[in-house]
Amino acid sequence: MRHLTPRAVLAGIGELKPQRRTDGVTTMELLMRVSAEAMADGGISPDEIDGLLVAPQVGEAPQHVPATVAEYFGLQPSMSNMVDLGGASGPGMIWRAAAAIAAGQCETVLCVIGNHRNSPAPRSPNRNPAREFDTPFGASGANTSYALLMQAHMAAYGCKAADYAALAAGSRANAQLNEMAIFYGQPASVEEVLASPMVASPLHLLEIVMPVAGADAVIVTTEERAKAAPHPPVYLLGAGEKITHRVVSQAPDLTSGPLKPSIARALQQAGQSAADMDLLSLYDCYTIMLAATIEDAGLCAPGKFGAWLRDNGGMGPQARQPINTHGGQIGFGQPDLAGGMTHVVEAVRQIRGTAPNRQIRSCKSALVTGNGATMSEAVALVLGANP
Amino acid sequence: MSDYAALQIPGPTETALSAPFWQAAAEGKLLIQHCGACDRAVFYPRPLCPHCWADALAWRQASGQGRLASFSEVWKPGHPGWLPVAPFVVGLVGLDEGATMLSHILCSSAPKVGAAVRFRPTEAGGRRLPFFELIA
């Protein structure tokens, strides 16, 4: 396969502060606010937006989502689409935006994603294999799926519960440097993570993301147009994507996922290695997801993430390779499908050199990952300061 | 295990294609599709073989023997109907025939990855479901 990465720049970013409840606010309102923030950040006016990528969880619009959002925003894009890859949707938007620009269909793409959190949350009306062959046995929701993945990982490699808990504690520590984070002001030690209630063994409560409302937006445009933007450009240097399954019983491998080939492709396109990355902005719906991703990136051998993390000096901005400096979703909160985009937005801040209170000394490159369903939908991006 | 019968839990969203699986379970049997072209077991039910795409799937009674590829003890169920029996164990059962299915695992001792399990149809929430049990 030939590897051609369309040259594009991530020129504008926006992110709303996570909230546990939104009391009647609609998703469309959140999406519009965060998009305005991204346009202001990038010095891009609404009439310059000619591409629009959205995600499926616009509560108000189960169908015709791009048109509904475009109309609400007063946009008439010449390219629009919905990216439906769970937590990988946000990163998945970035390379699709670059590809659409390279195809000549548009020049400046708004990628926007988010969700409200009004109670009561409606139960899924799904009639798919997950609903038919998991739910009737008492396994509904992501917690049991990731618990099954984690148990298999522990059994295969003998990893200790404290190794996984260290990833949650490190995420919480990073969240203390981010005033936006839902767990700002609430650090958690390894002991506290292990003492938190068991949700689905071996997963403890504090190893699981907190669901929040929120939204993120990123504007992708051409190098030429980005010259007028107020911030230094952040380039998309490589991308990789892979989807292997949907329900955990159909996983081809319980201890390694589709991020492995996705990361390899993204790095190959960028001509870089995982160990070269100044920031690791890795999708972390659960501690096991972060552990498996560190291993799938080839940063250490399978089962060795615990020792690698200790050698790395933890996860903070001073670590050898800082991980999830915004707190990750474990520390920041998971704004539904926008959770994956928080990893893109933080990488842009770090590469620009504008991450408040937590700037890495020299951040010229970042590996960003997104993950959906049951470690089964994967997108990896390499972003950099230089083309 | 009488607790299970009174549960108010969501049952399977059966389709015409999957009906033989659920009907067999109700009769205390485990039926799994088998491909006559590539000789592989298929789970969950499909119209064509997902391994070789042949139109050669037939139902076969499975041995009901398998091993736990993984498991979890669920303390906070995703559906509130399961609360009365929590904590309970769900697991990935690698069937001897080669396919893997998720099921509820009845355990009289602590489960382990790799442990042997066998088919154990169980009354739960007003229907008989294809559960498995840990072989002690």
pLDDT tens digits, residue range B31-54?
A: 999 999 999 999 999 988 888 899
Interface contact B13, partner A, CB < 8 A = yes
Residue of B nearest to A149 (CA): B70
* Contact (CB<8Å) A143/B88: no
Of A383, A382, A321, nearest in space to A351 by CA: A383
* Mean local confidence (pLDDT), B104-112: 97
Q: Supply A266's token pair.
A: 């993204």
Is residue A191 classed exposed, middle or buried when 0-12, 13-18 and 19+ CB atoms within 10 A define those classes? exposed
- Chain A contact set for B131 (CB, 8 A): 137
In B, which residues are within 8 Å of A204 by CB distance?
none
Integer Cα distance of A111 and A93 in angstroms: 6
Q: Which amino acid is at A289?
A: M
Q: Spell out the residues 6+ positions from residue A361 whose beta carbon is closer than 8 angstroms to its own.
A: A317
DSSP assignments along A86-125, one per residue: GGGHHHHHHHHHHHHHHTTS-SEEEEEEEE--PSSPPPP-
CB-CB under 8 Å, B74 with A155: no
Amino acid at site B64: G
CA dihedral A71, A76, A81, A82 (to 10 degrees): -20
Residue A292 phi/psi, 5° resolution?
-65, -35
Q: Can you tell me the distance from the alpha carbon of B115 to that of B96, in angstroms, rounded to the nearest whole number?
A: 13
A168 min Cα distance to partner chain B (Å): 20
- Pick out chain A residues at pLDDT < 50: 1-2
Q: Do A137 and B104 touch (CB under 8 A)?
A: yes
Instruction: Kindly write down the DSSP assignment for every residue of A159-171, as one continuous string.
Output: --HHHHHHHHHHH
Which residues of chain A have a CB within 8 Å of the CB of B110?
Answer: none
Take residue A154 and report the two structure tokens written for it: 């522990």
Contact assignment for B100 to A250 by CB distance below 8 Å: yes
Q: Which of A303, A310, A284 is nearest to A159 (CA)?
A: A303
Query: How far apart (Å, rounded) are the C-alpha atoms in residues A25 and A115?
Result: 10
- Whether residue B44 has a cis bond before it, omega within 30° of 0: yes
pLDDT of residue A1: 44
Q: Which of B14, B74, B79 sits opposite A200 (nearest CB)?
A: B74
| B73 in contact with chain A, both atoms CB, cutoff 8 A | yes
How is chain A split among helix, strand and coil, in percent rounded to 5? Answer: 40, 20, 40
pLDDT at B15: 84
Residues of B in contact with A141 (CB under 8 A): 78-79
**Residue from the list A132, A138, A151 with its beta carbon closest to the beta carbon of B70:** A151
Q: State phi, psi for A203 to the nearest 5 degrees.
A: -90, 125
Question: ∠B124-B129-B131 over CA atoms, to 5°?
Answer: 100
- Secondary structure string (H, E, C) spanning chain B: CHHHHHCCCCCCCCCCCCHHHHHHHHCCCCEEEEECCCCCEECCCCCCCCCCCCCCEEEEECCCEEEEEEEEEECCCCCHHHHHHCCEEEEEEEECCCCEEEEEEECCCCCCCCCEEEEEEEEECCEEEEEEEECC
Residue A330 corresponds to which tokens in the numbers above?
């474990």
| Distance (Å, whole) CA A33 – CA A37 | 6
Angular region, A298: left φ>0, alpha ψ -120 to 50, beta rest: left
Helix (H) or strand (E) holding A382: strand A377-384
Predicted ipTM?
A: 0.94
- Read off the DSSP letter of residue A366: E
Does pLDDT of B2 surpass 60?
no
Measured in angstroms, the CA of B56 and the nearest CA of chain A are apart by: 21
* Chain A CB contacts of B43 below 8 Å: 249
> If DSSP codes are grouped into helix, strand and coil, which group holds residue A288?
helix
Nearest to A367 by CA among A337, A336, A346: A346
Query: How near does any CA of chain A get to the CA of B63, in Å?
Result: 19
At a CB cut-off of 8 Å and minimum separation 6, what does A29 contact? none
In this prediction, what percent of chain A has a pLDDT beyond 70? 95
pLDDT of residue A5: 65
CB B123 within 8 A of CB B96: no
Please tell me the predicted confidence (pLDDT) of residue A64. Answer: 79
Show residues of chain A in contact with B122, CB under 8 Å.
none
Residue with tokens 């993301």: A209
Pair B131, B118: CB distance under 8 Å: no
CA neighbor of A248 nearest in space, from B64, B29, B72, B65:
B72
Q: What is the mean pLDDT of chain A?
A: 93
Instruction: Tally A–B CB contacts below 8 A.
Output: 112
